[in-house]
Amino acid sequence: MRRNNTVRIVIIVAAITWALYQLYPTFMSTRLKNQASTHQIKIAQISGLPTDEINHALAQGLLEQKIREKLKDNPEALAPAVAETQKLTALDDRIANYENRAIQRGLDLQGGSYLVYEVDLPKLARDLAKNEDARFEELVRAIEAKSAQPNADFLKILREHFAANQVRLSRYWGNRSQTDVQIVDDIRKSAKDAVDRNLEILRNRIDQFGVSEPSITKQGDLRVVIELAGITDVSRAKNIIGKTARLEFKLLKEPEMINDVITKINGVMKKEMAAKRGDSLLTQIPVDTTQLASADSARVRNEKEVSVDELFPGSSLTGASQSDSAGKDSTLMVDQEVFKENPFSSLLGALGGDLGVPAKNYRAVERILNDPEVQEVIPKEAMFAWSNKTEPIADAEYYRLYLVKKDADLTGTYLVNADANIGSSNVGPQGEWQVNMEFNNEGAKIFGIVTGSNVNKRLAILLDDKVVTAPNINERIPSGRAVISGNMDADEAKDLGIVLRAGALQAPMHVIEERTVGPSLGRDSIEKGQTSALIGFALVILFMAIYYKLSGVIADFALLLNLTLTMAVLALLGATLTLPGVAGLILTIGMAVDANVLIFERIREELRAGKTVSAAIDQGYTRAFWTIFDANISNLLTALVLYQFGTGPIRGFAVTLSIGILASMFTAIVVTRVIFDWMTSRRKLATLSI
Amino acid sequence: MMQFFQETHIDFLRVRKYAMSFSAGLILLGIVSLLLKGGPRYGVDFLGGTEINVHFQQQHNTAEVRGALSQLGYGEAEIKQFGSASDFLIRVQQQQGQGTQVSDNILEALRKVFPSDELTVRSIESVGPKIGQELRTNAIFAVLISLGLLLIYISIRFEFIFAVGAIIALFHDVMVTLSFFSLFNLEISLAVVAAFLTLVGYSLNDTIVVMDRIRENNRLLRRENRDIKHIINLSINQTLARTILTSLTTFIVVVVLFFFGGEVIHNFAFCMLVGIIAGSYSTIYIAAPVVVEWYKKHEVQKIKRSPVAVR
């Protein structure tokens, strides 16, 4: 039986040509990347720069400049380093040329970070709220506790909880004429809008941080997925990405007011303790009130730490504090003399002219400050704010605690530029890293007025509600320039510059999922995976050739073609090859081999039954076809469902499997058939090598 | 012609009752193990939590690392040494609302406690409890839908009872593999779920190949009025060579992956090793007997002619 195979052969040749063309960029970029990494290692050796920094500088086009700067006192090393740098830069350009048409390797195979950020709805809702009072705090806290459950819808819970407590949402959000449902919809909408704007800001920040080819995509309405290939310092990246970076300038309150407030808080605490205990203060400070939970512990002299259990065996402290496992205050630093009369003051110390709080007391003080009754005695126009980092004094670490105006005098929205540099003559401490900021005209005007009318007062600069620095205003500043300084190292200052330049996130976001694969593990898994896959594949090829002889070789050819085609389609789709994707490929190989085994066994059966070679081939293919078809279609169905409903890794599996199945139907059935036909058409075969 | 098997005439179905009891026993053992251990051992993917894999330059012992962590209040962290004395796996069950700061805190603490040592992060996985729940729901949802579609497709192409048999066989394979995971105390991560899907695909393929032969033989032998047991036995024997060849080739690949594929692929390969054996076995001893028993009960001796004619 003679079939016209010309069309088929043309299709096959075209497919092979197309596949090779598609895979060429992948091949080239892999080869060039290997070359690039040797240059990179050499540069790292000569210059002593960490590879991370080399990568950042390379991505920003600043590598040569950086190398020259770094090695300016070492002319011997400079020349080879610059030569390597130029080679690397040239290679980098060529790689970039091929890169976007090459198959991307997933982060699990090349190292990098996968981060999922979600809008912090509770925080956003708080930010949007106005006229917050003690009642509001109470309600919102209850809701936050509830919405921590999996699958909880914060806004729905918010609406229901407020309704259950007969408080209208319009009391705190939107305007009076709006219904609860409208307000919740508004909050949801502003969250969605914020995510869209955050995308832009995040892209900006990451570009400036210098990551090559970051992927930043939206997932659903409230999430952003960020993939950073090849980075090693994840903590730093997270710091830049996740920081809301809301910059605010707030005047400090006068010392008299601070003293007054502290006295009042002492009063409240004493009253609470007396009311709830009555007994000796020493042994029975709060156990049941969450706000003061930890304050019950210590007793002894100043600067001495005492564990809770030691002093009060049997006190069930732990149950009272829910959300802070990361640092249960088992000990506190308390000044015993002061404690009896002024329990709150006993937790504090002095740091220059500011209040200092030992790091150990941070949580206790925070809880006290959040107590509804304590909130009552803090003036409406003021609020407490913590310093953003601790300072070591003697043996202990201290936070500063400031009392600042509640409303910002100036915000970062007026910022036009921010740059990190080393402090020089007139502004900021000399020789320390700082960030210079520049406001637009309007901002400069406001800044001038604020500074002009508050000379000799102190102005706190807050980043995300933490005080970075609180300098004294010496004179009116008309220029619209300000400096943030205070204990920053080079990285911190640069990162702060980046986030300020890129602007504040429109809504706070937090990481809900992180997967980081270090470069060493990525390299390991590639090498091991590649070697083992190659060995396995070679064994299968060998087995087929031995068991089915010439027919086996034909099947092997089809198998190779199948892999090539699958990879080519992956390249075409711009898909990413991940570990589960490789799993999909393995299943594909299994099924492609199976298809040929099915056909060959069928042909053997027909031959045994005494059919001629060409009749046996014909029958074998025809009979096996529906089997292969049904098996493949069933698997394809599964793969499509997995693609539709699965997440990340499962999708990768589904994609390679679907493509592989389609390719294997083509190669195992059509391609091998054409070859057999071609063999039998040339001369009548008496026997078949099978 | 190189051949492992000449024509065989094995009465596979004769021992189906024993085989089914064996399967049931194995699955029961797995269920008992699952119950005793409080369900499958989920990885951080599904549980939520943080897992850090670090490599030190120097050697340390678990107690030192635990010491470093307990200062942070992570004293209950699971700390495992693997490979050498300088590789550690640290796992912390996530507390509500703590985000993913945990990993930063832990690394900072380790760097502080071992200042002279250089620490390399090999991997970090951190999944919020909310996400963990979502991933679990999504995975289950996807599997249920695809099973439903398979039921429909096989019913159309073959017969409803074939579809039921195939799905029970798939269920059997997943349960057996799950049992092995529980008995060997292995962990279910997202990659393992991909492996389960692969084995389901493999097993399904195997089942359909045999069913297809049953469909064909039934058409050929219809006139002879042979009973279903005979037809099924014949079909299994006719496809036996193919079953063993395919299983063997796939097995070779997976064995290589199991031994040389590295830690990431290890659990995946284990799953496939169990799955390939279970997949071939279940076609013969689960899917086929289901069809036989159903026919016996309904006293239908013949399989209806399938709607799609096979040429």
pLDDT in tens, B195-238: 887 788 889 889 999 999 998 898 887 777 678 888 999 999 99
Mean pLDDT of A280-306: 35
Q: Check if the beta carbon of residue A634 is closer than 8 Å to that of residue B204.
A: yes
Nearest to B249 among A543, A622, A638 (CB): A543
- Is A261 at the interface with chain B, CB within 8 A? no
Mean pLDDT of A297-322: 35
| B140 and B96 share one domain | no
Q: Do B198 and A586 touch (CB under 8 A)?
A: yes
Strand partners, A419: A436
Residues of A in contact with B198 (CB under 8 A): 583-584, 586-587, 653
Spell out the domains of chain A, with CATH numbers in brackets: 23-102 (no CATH), 113-244 (3.30.70.3400), 251-405 (no CATH), 410-504 (3.30.1360.200), 518-682 (1.20.1640.10)
Amino acid at B205: N
Q: Give residue B259's pLDDT.
A: 87
φ, ψ at B196 (rounded to 5°): -60, -40
- pLDDT tier at A495, thresholds 50, 70, 90: confident
Residue carrying the six token digits 């500063």: A400
| B189 and B69 share one domain | no
Q: Give residue B264's pLDDT.
A: 67
Residues of A in contact with B249 (CB under 8 A): 540, 543-544, 590, 593, 597
Of all residues in chain A, the percent with pLDDT exceeding 70 is 88
The CATH number of whichever domain residue B282 belongs to comes to 1.20.1640.10
Distance from CA of B15 to the nearest CA of A (A): 26
Q: Do B149 and A631 touch (CB under 8 A)?
A: no
Q: Do A540 and B157 touch (CB under 8 A)?
A: no
| B251 and B138 share one domain | yes
Strand extents, DSSP E, chain B: 49-56, 78-81, 87-93, 119-127
Lowest mean pLDDT among A212-216, A232-236, B96-100: B96-100
Q: Do A642 and B146 touch (CB under 8 A)?
A: yes
Residues of A in contact with B153 (CB under 8 A): 633-634, 637
> Which of B93, B127, B161 is the C-terminal boundary of a domain?
B127
CB pairs < 8 Å spanning A and B: 265
Strand extents, DSSP E, A169-222: 215-219
B99 Ramachandran zone, left/alpha/beta (phi>0; psi -120 to 50)? left
- pLDDT tier at B311, thresholds 50, 70, 90: very low
Q: Do A593 and B95 touch (CB under 8 A)?
A: no
Q: Residue A425 pLDDT > 70, yes or no?
A: no
Q: Residue B310 domain-assigned?
A: no
Strand partners, A438: A417, A481
Task: Pick the residue of A105, A597, A640 with the most B CBs within 10 A to test the interface with B by mutation.
Answer: A597
Q: Residue B98 domain-assigned?
A: yes
CA–CA dist A198, B114 (Å, integer)? 38
Q: Residue B141 pLDDT > 70, yes or no?
A: yes
Question: pLDDT tens for residues A622-638?
Answer: 999 999 999 899 889 88
Q: Do A326 and B193 touch (CB under 8 A)?
A: no
Q: Check if the beta carbon of residue A279 is closer than 8 Å to that of residue A273.
A: no
Rounded to the nearest integer, the mean pLDDT of chain A is 81
- pLDDT tier at B42, thresholds 50, 70, 90: confident
Question: pLDDT tens for residues A535-583?
Answer: 888 999 999 999 999 999 999 999 999 999 999 999 998 888 887 788 7
Strand partners, A355: A350, A401
Residues of A in contact with B127 (CB under 8 A): 512-514
- Is A645 at the interface with chain B, CB within 8 A? yes
Q: Give residue A343's pLDDT.
A: 77
| pTM for this predicted structure | 0.73
- pLDDT tier at B94, thresholds 50, 70, 90: low
Q: Residue B265 domain-assigned?
A: yes
Q: Give residue A276's pLDDT.
A: 59
Long-range CB pairs of A62-66, under 8 A, 24+ apart, other chains included: A63/A88, A63/A89, A64/A89
Six-digit token string for A565: 């085609």
Domain that holds residue B85: 49-127
Distance from CA of A317 to the nearest CA of B (A): 15
| B151 and B195 share one domain | yes
Q: Give residue A428's pLDDT.
A: 52
The CATH number of whichever domain residue B94 belongs to comes to 3.30.70.3400
Nearest chain B residue to A150 by CA: give it: B130
Q: Give residue B194's pLDDT.
A: 75
Q: How many domains does chain B have?
A: 2
Q: Give residue A587's pLDDT.
A: 76
| B239 and B272 share one domain | yes
Residues of B in contact with A690 (CB under 8 A): 1
The closest of A654, A530, A525, A664 to A591, measured between CA atoms, is: A664
Distance from CA of A549 to the nearest CA of B (A): 9
Q: Residue A507 pLDDT > 90, yes or no?
A: no
| B32 and B119 share one domain | no
Q: Residue B290 pLDDT > 70, yes or no?
A: yes
Q: Residue B155 pLDDT > 60, yes or no?
A: yes
| B183 and B289 share one domain | yes
Task: Pick the residue of A52, A527, A645, A655 with the most B CBs within 10 A to test the interface with B by mutation.
Answer: A645
Instruction: Return the exposure string of A120-159: e unless at least 16 CB atoms fall within 10 Å of the residue's CB, then b.
Output: bbbebbbebbeeeeeebeebbeebbeebbeeeeebbebbb
| B241 and B276 share one domain | yes
Question: pLDDT tens for residues B106-120?
Answer: 888 888 888 888 888
Per the model's pLDDT, the better-predicted residue between B304 and B44 turns out to be: B44
Q: Residue A326 pLDDT > 70, yes or no?
A: no
Q: Give residue B161's pLDDT.
A: 92
- Is A657 at the interface with chain B, CB within 8 A? yes
Q: Do B252 and A536 touch (CB under 8 A)?
A: yes
Task: Pick the residue of B125, B210, B264, B283 with the most A CBs within 10 A to test the interface with A by mutation.
Answer: B264
Q: Residue B307 domain-assigned?
A: no
Question: pLDDT tens for residues A444-453?
Answer: 999 999 999 9
Of all residues in chain A, the percent with pLDDT exceeding 90 is 19
Q: Residue B202 domain-assigned?
A: yes
Q: Check if the beta carbon of residue A558 is closer than 8 Å to that of residue A656.
A: no
Distance separating the N- and C-terminal Cα atoms of chain A: 20
Nearest to A325 among B95, B149, B150 (CB): B95
DSSP code of A494? H
| B80 and B181 share one domain | no
Q: Do B107 and A235 touch (CB under 8 A)?
A: yes
| B28 and B175 share one domain | yes
Q: Residue A443 pLDDT > 50, yes or no?
A: yes
- pLDDT tier at A272, thresholds 50, 70, 90: confident
Strand order in the sheet with A481-488: A415-422, A433-439, A481-488
Amino acid at A546: I
Q: Do A511 and B99 touch (CB under 8 A)?
A: yes
Nearest to B141 among A108, A631, A645 (CB): A645
Strand extents, DSSP E, A298-395: 305-307, 331-333, 349-351, 354-358, 382-387, 391-393
Q: Residue B3 domain-assigned?
A: no
Q: Residue B5 domain-assigned?
A: no
Q: Give residue A337's pLDDT.
A: 66
DSSP code of A215? E
| CA B282-B284-B286 angle, 5° bins | 50
Q: Residue B274 domain-assigned?
A: yes
Q: Give residue A487's pLDDT.
A: 74
Distance from CA of A256 to the nearest CA of B (A): 37
Q: Check if the beta carbon of residue B292 is closer than 8 Å to that of residue B16.
A: yes
Lowest mean pLDDT among A6-15, A101-110, A601-610, B243-252: A101-110
| B36 and B138 share one domain | yes
> Which of B127, B145, B174 is the C-terminal boundary of a domain?
B127
Q: Check if the beta carbon of residue A549 is closer than 8 Å to that of residue A496.
A: no
Q: Give residue A555's pLDDT.
A: 93
- pLDDT tier at A320, thresholds 50, 70, 90: very low
Q: Residue B166 pLDDT > 90, yes or no?
A: yes
What interface predicted TM-score (ipTM) does this complex get? 0.83
Q: Do A647 and B129 touch (CB under 8 A)?
A: no
| B137 and B120 share one domain | no
> Which of B70, B105, B127 is the C-terminal boundary of a domain?
B127
